[in-house]
Amino acid sequence: MADDARRDSRGTIGSYTAVGDSFTEGVGDPGPGGGFVGWADRLALLLAERHAAAAPAGDFRYANLAVRGRLLDRIVAEQVPRAVELAPDLVTLAAGGNDILRPGSDPDDVAARFEAAVAELSAAVGTVMICTGFDTRGVPVLGLLRGKIATYNAHIRAVADRYGCPVLDLWSLRSVQDRRAWNEDRLHLSAQGHTRVALRAAQVLGLEPPTDPDEPWPPQSQRLPSEVRRENIHWAREHLVPWIGRRLRGQSSGDQVQPKRPDLLPLR
């Protein structure tokens, strides 16, 4: 566990609201009915199990307000006030990543707006856990933004120190450096990647997860350079070019999407 992980000292968490974008909505981790599961849903199940063991008479309640493609300002305008209204024991906030990926964005400015959201949530919620960005070393195209992401992460850590927030440190999670942790679009985690993040989040909150989130992946055969080239060409044609096109047109994959779980409902 990373040195800066803070264990929850406020007793059992009885309610949880997830705030964010596609990462927290669970894109890349398919669920029943065409929806997504994702790390936040998986974390909610782990929290519900602990709550059931400690307080069997009460229901654990969970809301997920995250919507794919959301920029930070829209998350702050739409999701943060709703999370404050719900006033759960725990909020997770993962936001700003889509802003950082935009050309010309300033991580200092994005971080200042992120801190305002943390301040608002911290005044109304028991615990606010915030998330760093992933290390994009070795990732095509996104690897060019590694320094920008690292700068934003440094700000996030400073914000966590100022407000006493536990940090879900995705940069240091070695297991998600494996390509099997990622969906074929290379922008979203796979089901296995989401599972690793949920286990790490549980650790940060003081739970003992069933497996180690940094457990080594099973060995696999070495890919030929020709196979890697074919995969890169397919990825660029099927995922990178459409993604760039949406950015140029000012469109978002979540324009017509509503939160999948807008209310704090029992999770059994």
Find out if CATH 3.40.50.1110 is the number for domain 15-222+258-266. Answer: yes
At residue 9, the pLDDT reads 38
Between helices 38-54 and 191-204, what is the axis angle to 10°? 40
For residues 82 and 121, what is the distance between their CA atoms, to the nearest angstrom?
10
Predicted structure pTM score: 0.89
- The stretches in the chain having pLDDT less than 50 are 1-10
For residues 142 and 136, what is the distance between their CA atoms, to the nearest angstrom?
6
DSSP code per residue over 204-216: HTT---SS-TTPP
pLDDT single digits (tens) 196-251: 999 999 999 999 999 999 999 998 777 777 776 777 777 767 666 776 666 666 66
DSSP code per residue over 162-184: HHT--EE-STT-GGGGSGGGB-T
